[in-house]
Amino acid sequence: MIKNTSKSHVAFEFRTTAPKSCFMRPPGGILAPGESIIATEPPENHEKPTNQRSNVKFKITSLEVKGPMDYVPELALEKQKRHLAEAEDALEARKKPSEEDRSRDYR
């Protein structure tokens, strides 16, 4: 079960390390404040559940959205692009020598 405990609408999306063999229903959506859903993983090819351990990992990504809207998977993609750009900027900032370091080099 997934529950939105925040005071705003939240978009969510399931992610897995095995997208071709594992999928959740619904794969994503928008939850209103206090709303909850029960997500299921339908067995593939009518397989019976087994007690075997699997290396498949699942993750739920979420994003606060303004008001009710249709779920658009690109919302999560845009958030990931922003985070990636921020991480790349931070990495570049660490690579550049600071003004103080440069003044030491010239002494």
Per-residue confidence band for 7, with pLDDT thresholds at 50, 70 and 90: very high
Count of domains forming the chain: 1
- Residue 24 confidence (pLDDT): 78
The better pLDDT of the pair 107, 17 is held by 17
36-37 vs 2-3, strand pairing mode: antiparallel
* Percent of the chain surpassing pLDDT 90: 12
Q: Which domain holds residue 58?
A: 2-105
Nearest to 12 by CA among 2, 1, 22: 2
Entry pTM: 0.55
Instruction: Write the CATH number for 44.
Output: 2.60.40.10
